[in-house]
A and B are shown apart, each in its own frame.
Chain A
């Protein structure tokens, strides 16, 4: 049995098709990433899988329970962390936790224990009797995640858990999620943070405009686009025209500036290294560092979603 099984899921909002015949399944214990640009349909997918929204057609099951017809059983095993930190501002952190536990039928003794434990983990225990009203963005995010864990879910939905947070909140959240993964909790994670997906997920689905463009392990996805190898080089001096100049070197497909370095995309790293050295000699530049990189998940993402790099920024092409 799969933790999640999605079959021919389509969702239309009037004329807009938010999801178009989406199929995938997530194994028990797997960490599954849903990676896609804004408007790809990530949140729509979670809303359907949690039974808040209904599909136009297609089905979804959670541990074998159909989300449409066996909704309550399906939901009992879930924890849901939505995109916005939807906490009750007028309740205290503690009251928020207890309320969430009550909705999920967690018994009295168990819920107090669990609430105390989770608030401690998320570094909120000291503030438990304060109204959430005055909490910072990161604290609200942490509380939202803690509320999603209060029923010890076997399946956790995380809709962009760490977007827009500082390093400390980020670290706490990633640590907790990693811990849950080790305990065997199935995690469904949406993100547009490619590095996060790369680090945490067993498999990643790349979604774009309601389509799944690819599903595979991050490493295997990278292998599919060997053409996107790159050279990263830095020179001792930086000038305005360098980017244009290195981009026009032979065998270079594209070039972007990454901080004080240039990244040159190529199918033939050896030749490009030679021409970079040659270029440096003619311009009287010294090469400070140079290295070859395999394709990144970002490259896969860009290729599959039809986005295009121009001068270091990423733009959508229509």
Chain B
């Protein structure tokens, strides 16, 4: 019976478009409300920049070659800083109840929250990108690969931020310090500052567990044309990380929501 099939498809399409537009509304609300909060500016923009500066000065490499790594850690810190700030605040002022009681699936809520961190970090990562192009004339070998690499890395860490923000607290500092115990070590074991080949075997093994390894690797490939893994493998692993974080976040929000 084609008519009911069509009806079903129509209902499904309407449902999905509702979910997407609600997720988009959530992330737009985050943009207006949280992008300029001091915590986010410090952790998302200033911190990665100074961190990198400190290492770059020590390294004595031509500044242009440092741009891919700077983009990678800028994405890590900015993407994962929005939700750990916005969600505890929303818990405190009880607006989070609005989101939890809205007629949308928890997946859309998680996705919408992550979307705002994703867009934020892409915007922020344009700074090192443009600085690289203008000041150091850093060549980019594969522009489309760079776009995909940045998007996936940004989304992966935005979802990681949403995942950590599931911890049921009204205190921003609590989520931030948990998150930092994970993301600070990431920058040392993911080949950003120290190439993987220069690390002991155990370090290299641990690096395989870090999504930043693959994001950084793929961004490096986009710039130089050489990388540790094939870009396809990087894409695959990043997508898997995104799915793991998304489903874990979904579970945790449900579970902590007594």
Q: Which residues of A are interface residues toward B (Cβ below 8 A)?
A: 13, 47, 50-54, 71-73, 75-76, 78, 80, 82, 84, 86-91, 95, 99-100, 102-105
Assuming the contacts A75-B102, A105-B103, asked whether A90 and B33 have C-beta atoms less than 8 A apart, the reply is: yes
Q: Judging by beta carbons under 8 Å apart, are B94 and A88 in contact?
A: no
Q: Judging by beta carbons under 8 Å apart, are A72 and B99 in contact?
A: no
Further contacts, 6 of them, CB under 8 A, given A47-B97, A84-B94, A104-B102: A52-B257, A84-B93, A86-B98, A100-B98, A103-B25, A103-B99
Which A residues are in CB contact (< 8 Å) with B95?
86-88
User: Is B219 close to A, CB under 8 A?
Assistant: no
- B103 touches which of A75, A87, A99 (Cβ 8 Å): A75
4 shortest interchain CB distances as A-B pairs = A102-B25, A75-B103, A86-B94, A103-B102
Query: How many chain B residues touch the partner (CB < 8 A)?
Result: 22
Assuming the contacts A53-B257, A102-B25, A103-B104, asked whether A86 and B93 have C-beta atoms less than 8 A apart, the reply is: yes
Q: Judging by beta carbons under 8 Å apart, are B257 and A103 in contact?
A: no
Bound Cα distance A46, B257 (Å) = 14
- A13 touches which of B32, B102, B258 (Cβ 8 Å): B258
Which B residues are in CB contact (< 8 Å) with A99?
25, 29
User: Is B100 close to A, CB under 8 A?
Assistant: yes
Bound Cα distance A102, B33 (Å) = 17
User: Is B79 close to A, CB under 8 A?
Assistant: no
A-B contact pairs, 19 of them (CB 8 A): A51-B100, A52-B97, A52-B101, A72-B104, A73-B103, A75-B102, A78-B101, A80-B101, A84-B94, A86-B93, A87-B95, A88-B95, A91-B29, A91-B32, A95-B29, A99-B25, A99-B29, A103-B103, A103-B104
- A72 touches which of B26, B29, B97, B103 (Cβ 8 Å): B103
Q: Judging by beta carbons under 8 Å apart, are B97 and A102 in contact?
A: no
Which of B93, B94, B95, B104 has the most chain A CB within a 10 Å cutoff?
Answer: B95
User: Is B21 close to A, CB under 8 A?
Assistant: yes
User: Is B171 close to A, CB under 8 A?
Assistant: no
Nearest residue (CB) in A for B14 is A105
Bound Cα distance A243, B170 (Å) = 49
* CB-contacts of B101-116 with A (<8 A): 101-105
Bound Cα distance A217, B98 (Å) = 32
Q: Judging by beta carbons under 8 Å apart, are A82 and B97 in contact?
A: yes
Which A residues are in CB contact (< 8 Å) with B105?
72
Q: Judging by beta carbons under 8 Å apart, are B25 and A88 in contact?
A: no
Which B residues are in CB contact (< 8 Å) with A88?
29, 33, 95
Bound Cα distance A51, B100 (Å) = 8
Q: Judging by beta carbons under 8 Å apart, are B21 and A86 in contact?
A: no
- B101 touches which of A51, A91, A102, A105 (Cβ 8 Å): A51
Assuming the contacts A13-B258, A88-B95, A103-B22, asked whether A76 and B103 have C-beta atoms less than 8 A apart, the reply is: yes
* CB-contacts of B9-55 with A (<8 A): 18, 21-22, 25-26, 29, 32-33
Nearest residue (CB) in A for B21 is A102
Q: Judging by beta carbons under 8 Å apart, are A90 and B32 in contact?
A: yes
Nearest residue (CB) in B for A90 is B33
Which A residues are in CB contact (< 8 Å) with B25?
99, 102-103
